[in-house]
Structure 1
Amino acid sequence: MSEVKISAGLRSEFGKGAARRIRRDNKVPGVLYGHGTEPVHVTLPGHDLMMALKTSNVLLALDIDGKSELAIPKAVQRDALKGFVKHVDLLLVKRGEKVNVEIPVQTEGELAPGGNLLEHVLNALPVEAEATHIPESVTVSVEGLEAGASVLAKDITLPKGVSLATDEDAVVLQVVAAQAEEPAADAEGDEAAEA
């Protein structure tokens, strides 16, 4: 995973009014915490942050007034209607440190014929990985799976240095048999039969 460099500034104003002023300047208020340090309140450039957050579990190399810090996004608040980032909580990390994150589960291959459906029980898999080597996603083959088949967390091959942070027997994917729809009664045909 590559690092995304972002310049951040310290902020001293707090509250709704201050946050609105920050957002009007196309910046995002945030909090940086972790490793037993006092929380640091920062402002981040809105566009740069939005682009960085398109990658799940992105590693941010923050330049805060000349001091470098590594962080991963822990919580992101977005505007419900417009989707822009309103606030972000960032967790301090160090090179070599293990962190618990969730990585997206992607599938490849075709299910066995029969119109069965693939259900994602878990869209993201909880794992423990080194902060600087978090995989972007994990891919699972569903080739030829039939109705009733399941893929458990322990069945997924993880990259080197990544371990499960959930129950090994947790169901991640399952194949559900397609349900046949009952034919809709033809209203006109029923009326003609009654006459």
Structure 2
Amino acid sequence: MSAEKITAEQRTEFGKGAARRIRRDNKIPAVVYGHGHDPVHVTLPGHATMMAIKHGGANALLDLDIDGTSQLALTKHVQVDPIRRVIEHVDFIAVKSGEKVTVDVPIHVVGDAAAETLVVNENTTLQIEAEATHIPEFFEVSVEGAEAGTQILAKDVELPAGSTLLSDEELLVVNVTQQISAEALEAELEEAEAEVGIVHEEPEAEAAAEEAPAEEPASEE
């Protein structure tokens, strides 16, 4: 993964008011943490930063030019406005070229499994250790032609050279199961409803029996 160059401005104003003013100028407030230094507060160009993060994915790596000093920064948290879908704030971790970092990498399932099967993505990410400048954007897992019963585990996913799997090797990533037919599903639902009906009827019958008055003995004349 190559780092995209972004020119950043170091900022000295903080708080909600300052952040709002930055966003009104179509810029993004951000903070760079790490390497034992105090956090560095910066302002980033809105559109360029949005495109760089979109292109780099969940672990986008940016080369921030902060007042003439280059700093590699790994994206750790992106705050997005839920209505306007624009970036409001970004947290970065400062990294160095060649340094290894721990990241969660998304899994993309591709291909078509065999007919009448259901593909379930049991886990959507894998945790790995990789060089900051060589983090894969995603892992591609193919289910092309996979039959029901096929299971793909973490250890089955091919990792790029220099990467180490940190997730459990036996972690289930993709599970291919037999697709249930509409008729079978309806039959299961009917069976479940019938069982529920039996469970409810028995207590009601017992309650009715308990509440019913005992028969009075016939009077003797």
Which residue does the alignment assign to 1:131? 132
One-letter code aligned to 2:28:
V
Q: Pick the structure with greater CA Rg.
A: 2
Which residue does the alignment assign to 1:162? 163
Q: Deviations over 1:128-186 (max 9, x none)?
A: 110011112211221222223211000111111111121111111111321222498xx
One-letter code aligned to 2:144:
E
Q: 1:93 offset after TM fit, Å?
A: 0.4
Q: Secondary structure at the match of 2:159?
A: coil
Q: May I ask how many residue pairs the two structures share in their alignment?
A: 183
Which residue does the alignment assign to 2:211? none
4+ residue segments displaced more than 4 Å: none
Greater share of helix: 2
48-57 or 83-92, which deviates more:
48-57
TM-score (norm 1): 0.89
Once residues 49 and 176 of structure 1 are traced to their aligned partners in structure 2, the CA distance between those partners, rounded to angstroms, is: 41
TM-score (norm 2): 0.79
Once residues 165 and 84 of structure 1 are traced to their aligned partners in structure 2, the CA distance between those partners, rounded to angstroms, is: 33
154-163 or 103-112, which deviates more:
103-112
Which residue does the alignment assign to 1:106? 108
140-149 or 159-168, which deviates more:
140-149
Once residues 66 and 166 of structure 2 are traced to their aligned partners in structure 1, the CA distance between those partners, rounded to angstroms, is: 32
Which residue does the alignment assign to 1:93? 95
Q: Secondary structure at the match of 1:53?
A: helix
One-letter code aligned to 1:67:
T
84-93 or 120-129, which deviates more:
120-129
One-letter code aligned to 2:6:
I
Which of 82, 91, 94 is equivalent to 1:80? 82
Once residues 120 and 76 of structure 1 are traced to their aligned partners in structure 2, the CA distance between those partners, rounded to angstroms, is: 24
Q: Secondary structure at the match of 1:96?
A: coil
Correspondence 1:46 to 2:57: no
* Runs of 5+ unmatched residues, structure 1: 185-195
Q: 1:95 offset after TM fit, Å?
A: 0.8
One-letter code aligned to 1:162:
S
Q: Secondary structure at the match of 1:38?
A: coil
Q: Which has the higher contact order (CA 8 A, sep 6+)?
A: 1
